[in-house]
Amino acid sequence: MADQMGGATVPPEGWLPTMRKAIDMSGPQLAKRIGVTKAAIYQAERKELEGAISLKQLQKLAASMDSKLVYAIVPNKPVNAIITHQAKLKANAIVQQASTHMGLEKQSLSKNQNQVEADRIAAELTKEMPIDLWDEI
């Protein structure tokens, strides 16, 4: 698994077996600690790799290894950059739509004027954060 989690690369065999082996605990020992079969432990480790394990089960397994589960959504870039990018996309779509209508009426703006208007709308959207910012136009 080559995913990134807050800068930490997920070990190829998954977090569960990596932690279990790091503390030198066997699958059967872990199974006994939480009252399941060793097959259930190996199934959980497989499900982790497949992304099909529940957070509750991961938390229980982590706790049984004197560890804690850390769960987070980590943005790829600063949150304000995500918002600004969406505002620009929406502003460009609004200007494009208006420009199409204005062109039909022979009132179209220059490319530069369209960009200035898109930048103005994007700044306004970023500042006001309207409820429909993430809706399609």
Measured CA to CA, the distance from residue 30 to residue 39 in angstroms comes to 11
Closest residue by Cα to residue 122 from 101, 114, 75: 114
Domain match, 60 and 88 both: no
When pLDDT is cut at 50, 70 and 90, the band that residue 2 belongs to is very low
Residue 1: predicted pLDDT: 41
Residue 10: predicted pLDDT: 87
Looking at 38, 64, 90, the residue that finishes a domain is: 64
Q: What is the CATH number of the domain that holds 33?
A: 1.10.260
What are the phi and psi torsion angles at 4 (to 5°)?
Answer: -105, 140
Over range 131-137, report the average pLDDT: 92
Measured CA to CA, the distance from residue 35 to residue 22 in angstroms comes to 21
When pLDDT is cut at 50, 70 and 90, the band that residue 111 belongs to is confident
The residues that bridge with 8 in the sheet, in sequence order, are 5
Domain match, 57 and 89 both: no
Handedness of CA 57, 62, 64, 68 (dihedral sign): negative
Q: In a 3-state reduction of DSSP, which class is residue 54?
A: coil
pLDDT digits (tens, 9 = 90+) for 29-87: 999 999 999 999 999 999 999 999 999 999 999 999 999 999 999 999 999 999 999 99
pTM of the entire predicted model: 0.69
Domain match, 11 and 59 both: yes
What is the total count of domains within the chain? 2
Domain match, 54 and 100 both: no
On whether the CB atoms of residues 45 and 16 are closer than 8 A, the answer is yes
